[in-house]
Amino acid sequence: MHKSVKDIINMKKEKKKISVITSYDYSLAALCDKAGIDVLLVGDSAGMVMLGYENTITVTMEQMCLFTEAVSRARKNSLLVSDLPFMSYQVSIEEAIRNSGRLIKAGADAVKLEGGSIMAETISAIVDVGIPVMGHIGFQPQTTTLSEGYKVQGKTKDTALKLIEDAKELEEAGVFSIALEMVSHEVTEIISETVSIPIIGIGSGVDCDGQVLVVQDLLGMYNKIKPKFAKRYMNLSEDIVKSLEEYKNDVELGTFPADENWFSMEEGELEKLREHIGS
């Protein structure tokens, strides 16, 4: 049985740190799941790292359902959370519920949406129909990108107070966890201590209940943006390019495929074939 929302909530109570990684496709999701990562997040960052968009704004429900289906076929142990894309939950509560349901039917266990207190009513309504919700405050890629660009949040007393208030209101609205993106580490610590639900940080320091990274950043596969907070555990793009260059070289030299990479006819069949076709 895979991890449940309750298991993730309990990890905070048991003071166990929560590992979250983004996943969008079957092969990588299977490896993340095998590695014992607690939560696979089908983030709308898929738009950038999988589809090559400049930001997450153009991502559609259809795309998120497709990525969610692929990841759900791969996961065995982790909890699976999927992002509601921009404009799939802001227009009306009905639409937010319908689209959350689509992600659940595609295989997600919970949905994530961006926004502070302004989203509280929508979150309550989604939770009321039985769908667990993860909140997302601090830097909010779907909207902050349009208004301010990439910017650390909670650097002043007033912005910090707003973030703390947002976290409290999201907890009251019923979220089981909150993603906290690019928030000053002092404010992160206060928020983590203030709410009883897990705070999952990205670029928000060590005082969270868990961490999330984009899997391509961690593996060194996406080079367009290199955020300060995204620790690279390897430089896979270099290895991939090197392997592809070797393959191209082998093809050109005729050293690939070799004996072990091809198939043969049954014994004696070639002679019979030659006789038949007269060669």
Beta bridge partners of 210: 18, 200
Is-cis flag, bond preceding 257, omega within 30?
yes
Place of tokens 């409290």: 168
Q: Which residues pair with residue 21 across a beta bridge?
A: 40, 213
Site string for ligand KIV, 213-252 (x = CB under 6 A): -x--------------------------------------
Cα Rg of the chain, angstroms: 23
Among positions 80, 212, 219, 221, the unique one binding ligand KIV when judged by CB under 6 A: 212
Which of 215, 251, 246, 209 shows the shortest CA–CA distance to 230? 215
Q: How far is the CB of 181 from ligand KIV (least distance, A)?
A: 6
Build a one-symbol-per-residue string for 33-62: x at contacts with ligand KIV by CB under 6 A, - elsewhere. ----------xxx-----------------
Closest-CB residue for ligand KIV? 43
- Give residues 192-211 in contact with ligand KIV (rule: CB under 6 A): 202
166 binds ligand KIV (CB under 6 A): no
Closest CA to 38 of 64, 62, 14, 65: 14
> Does position 138 bind ligand KIV by CB under 6 A?
no
Q: Which residues contact 76 (CB under 8 A, 6 or more apart)?
A: 2, 33
List the end-to-end C-alpha distance of the chain, in Å, as a whole number.
61
Catalytic annotation, residues: 181
Cβ-based nearer residue to ligand KIV, 1 or 51: 51
Which residues in this chain contact ligand KIV in the complex, by CB under 6 A? 22, 43-45, 83, 136, 179, 181, 202, 212, 214
